[in-house]
Amino acid sequence: MTKRFCLSSLCVPLWTLAAFSAFFSIPGITTAEALSPRNANYTIAVTLDVEKKMLHGIETLVWINTTGDVVRELQFHLYLNAFKNTHSTFIRESGGRLRGDVMTGDGWGWIDVTSMSSQGVKNLRLEFIHPDDDNADDRTVTRVALPVPVPPGQSITIQITFTAQLPKVFARSGYHNDFFLVGQWFPKIGVYETGKGWNCHQYHANSEFFADYGVYDVRITTPERFVVGATGALLEEKKNTDGTKTVTCRAEDVHDFAWTAYPDYVDLKEQWKHVGIRLLLQPEHRGQADRHFHAARAALAYFEKHVGQYPYSTLTIVDPAYGASGAEGMEYPTFITAGTNRFFGTWLRMAEMVVVHEFGHQYFYGMLGSNEFEHPWMDEGINQYMETRIMDETYGAGTSALSALGFTIGDLEFTRAMYVAMRNPKIASLTTAAWKFPGTSYSSLAYGKTAIVLTTLERIIGRAAMDSVLKVYYNRWRFKHPAPEDFVAVVKDVAPRFSEAASPEFLNRFFEQALFGTDVCDYELASIDVKRMEPLKGIIEKNGMEVVAADTAGGKQDGLCTSTVRVSRLGEVQLPVSVLVRFEDGEAAHETWDGLARVMEFRYQRPSRVVWACVDPEEKLVMDVNRINNARSAEAEGGALWKYAVKVLFWVQQLFHWSLLAA
């Protein structure tokens, strides 16, 4: 078994090399610098029927078998069939509701492959499959048996014609009046994994996507009045004689392609180093253009500094039309959708937060192409962690999300609340596949918990170590499909070089408990007990004789205090913590504890008593679910309570007075 494993390990790089050679010999899709394996390459011509909200497409797919297996069938995603009827897995799981948006009864969408041919055989037979559940009515994955298998290193060309009915915008994709956001719209091949076969999941309510890299040459035909934006670079815009226009786009080293068409966009452009930023804004949001650009520039610069360079030359930011909120906040390669409201001033940085988050996906999803179906924490979670860093460092920690009428919330605080406010934070592990998270726990855990756990890790091992982890992870795995163990391996490789805290034992326990386990972290400053030492009394031995203690030692220990500070670990997660103890005379003691035991006591005999103590005073353990119990005073103070009692008094007075309207 071991031998066999070693052989296949050797084979993969060889076959990959062979595949690259084959790829470079295919005319029309080669460029000098291929950043990715480019094994799924599409040429698509699509026409948008704006009246019927339909797409008519002709697709040519060149797929290269970069694996060591002989591939006998192909599997395709037909994502738009998720919106075909109430029996689809997507609608069954979501109940027609997603991210606050509700699907309307007249907004169905579907995709129909009208023909598929390859290897000289026309009309290949498609068979719908449902690899994730027992829903035979789901039509989002299809397979086609090949007349001739594809050997390792060889390519296959498939010609497909399709017609698609766009849904009313509900979950990411669709139309609203004249606004079109066209995502997950074409028959898209799955990912073949050596020894495992096709990884081609159904479209689920809680899940995003997974695909191979390639080159997309796409020609989009729309009525002339429409402004078109798309993944990659717009090479040409040609007017046709029938009142339409055709926009030609090309995107290299990407694993998806999305586009938008809308007549009323305000089309704005800015340059940031090698990146042309295009902002397609709603006219009523024109006043927020600078905020969008600023957030995009901040995110580009931050990622370049802390992770790696953005290699593409374009970034398109789309602001969906009013009524199409379902299309907001979504990432596609080099193409993201934002979301704002004209009444949101800088007191609510929604626009910035969405731009920063979706841009971050260019890395954690785009270039680091993890499997979003199976490991959502690797894209959403790591990206959420980056979002908190960028937002708090750019717009102010504690105020980066909201700052209005004295109420302030920072992005990290908001993210932490997603996780700690869960009724049951132990409900699922981050190893859970996206669609298997129970209830609403998907976002709280995949986004919130991951970000908070990584922030905790960063504060334990240090920012320099974490940045190095991110850089190595990016350089090692960009344009590949990293798995969870690949990220963990990078941390274990890199972090110990920077920090003594990052011992193998610590990292193993950390990942097992904090990231992949369901355990919670809660350290408590349980108590402060102070006892003034009494003078020694009674009979003691002195010089071989028994004497009355009060006669000899009386008063010597007067004024000494014994203070006991007790720290408890209420949660299961074991992390090293520090404890800060303050004494009445202003002195302080700094203690450390490995955090393994359930209870730890620190005792002091000093003239001055302990007045205050705090576990984790540097607030490293952001994942601690209760920060209130981290510190304790020896004596109660009521200042803040009076403040809030006064507030309660006032507002209850006003409330009572309103009742007088009826009296």
Partner 1 sequence: MIARVIQTGWRHAWTQWHMAILLYGINLLAALIPALAFHSAVSSLSSFPAVQELLAGFHYTTFADTLRIYGKEVLGIMPVLPWLMLAYLLFNTFLAGGIISSFCNMEIEFSGKVFFSAAAEYFIRFLRLLLLWSVAVIVVGGVALAGIAAAWYAVFEAAHSETTVAIATLCAAAVLLVIVFFLIAIADYARIYIVANDEHRVRRTLLASAKFVMKNLVGVFVILLIPLVIFVIAIAAYLMKTDWIGMSSIWTVLMVLIVQQVLTALRMWLHIFVYASETALFMDEMPEGLHM
Q: Which residues bind partner 1 (CB under 8 A)?
A: 177, 284, 321-323, 341-343, 398, 405-410, 413-414, 416-417, 420-421, 612, 614, 626-646, 648-650, 652-657, 659-663
Distance CA 489, CA 509 (A): 14
Residues 6+ apart with CB under 8 A from 49: 55, 56
Distance CA 303, CA 298 (A): 9
> What does DSSP assign to residue 428?
-
Q: Decide whether 123 or 659 has the Cβ nearer to partner 1.
A: 659
Q: How far is the CB of 295 from partner 1 (least distance, A)?
A: 20
**559, 607 contact by CB (below 8 A):** yes
Distance CA 33, CA 353 (A): 33
Residues 6+ apart with CB under 8 A from 40: 61, 62, 63, 64, 189, 211, 212, 213, 214, 255
If we measure between CA atoms, which residue out of 481, 480, 478, 476 comes closest to residue 491? Answer: 476
Distance CA 635, CA 612 (A): 8
φ/ψ (deg, to 5) at 67: -95, 180
Q: Decide whether 139 or 632 has the Cβ nearer to partner 1.
A: 632
Q: Provide the pairing of β-strand 335-337 with 314-318.
A: parallel
* Number of neighbouring beta carbons within 10 Å of residue 51: 7
Q: Residue 56 is inside which H or E element, if any?
A: strand 54-64
Q: How far is the CB of 166 from partner 1 (least distance, A)?
A: 19
Q: Decide whether 70 or 652 has the Cβ nearer to partner 1.
A: 652
Q: How far is the CB of 591 from partner 1 (least distance, A)?
A: 17
Q: How far is the CB of 631 from partner 1 (least distance, A)?
A: 4
Q: Which two tokens stand for residue 225?
A: 């009045």
Q: How far is the CB of 285 from partner 1 (least distance, A)?
A: 9
The string of DSSP codes covering 355-408 is HHHHHHTIIIIIIB---TTT-HIIIIIHHHHHHHHHHHHHH-TTTSSEEETTEE
Q: How far is the CB of 275 from partner 1 (least distance, A)?
A: 30
Q: How far is the CB of 639 from partner 1 (least distance, A)?
A: 5
Q: Decide whether 385 or 506 has the Cβ nearer to partner 1.
A: 385
Q: Decide whether 5 or 642 has the Cβ nearer to partner 1.
A: 642
* 266-272 sheet: strands from edge to edge: 266-272, 275-281, 314-318, 335-337, 330-332
Q: Decide whether 30 or 341 has the Cβ nearer to partner 1.
A: 341
Q: Decide whether 322 or 593 has the Cβ nearer to partner 1.
A: 322
Q: How far is the CB of 640 from partner 1 (least distance, A)?
A: 4
Q: How far is the CB of 347 from partner 1 (least distance, A)?
A: 14
Q: Decide whether 311 or 398 has the Cβ nearer to partner 1.
A: 398
Q: Decide whether 81 or 340 has the Cβ nearer to partner 1.
A: 340
Q: How far is the CB of 655 from partner 1 (least distance, A)?
A: 7
* 179-182 sheet: strands from edge to edge: 174-176, 179-182, 259-262, 227-230
Q: Decide whether 374 or 411 has the Cβ nearer to partner 1.
A: 411
Compute the Cα dihedral for 394, 400, 403, 409 and give only its sign. Answer: negative
Distance CA 106, CA 129 (A): 26
Q: How far is the CB of 635 from partner 1 (least distance, A)?
A: 7
Q: How far is the CB of 527 from partner 1 (least distance, A)?
A: 10
Distance CA 372, CA 380 (A): 8
Strand partners, 588: 582
Q: Decide whether 545 or 640 has the Cβ nearer to partner 1.
A: 640
Distance CA 279, CA 351 (A): 12
If we measure between CA atoms, which residue out of 358, 377, 639 comes closest to residue 484? Answer: 377
Q: Which two tokens stand for residue 424?
A: 């049951």
Between vectors from CA 8 to CA 5 and to CA 11, what angle results, nearest 5°? 155
3-class secondary-structure state, position 436: helix
Q: Decide whether 362 or 568 has the Cβ nearer to partner 1.
A: 568
Distance CA 426, CA 365 (A): 26
Q: Which two tokens stand for residue 268?
A: 């704005």
Q: How far is the CB of 381 from partner 1 (least distance, A)?
A: 20
Q: Decide whether 2 or 407 has the Cβ nearer to partner 1.
A: 407
Q: Decide whether 33 or 635 has the Cβ nearer to partner 1.
A: 635
Please give the distance of CA 112 from its chain centroid, rounded to a whole number.
32
Distance CA 483, CA 477 (A): 10
Q: Decide whether 406 or 544 has the Cβ nearer to partner 1.
A: 406
Q: How far is the CB of 189 from partner 1 (least distance, A)?
A: 38
Count CA atoms closer than 13 A to 123's CA, side-chain side. Answer: 1
Q: How far is the CB of 91 from partner 1 (least distance, A)?
A: 22
Polymer length in residues for the chain: 663
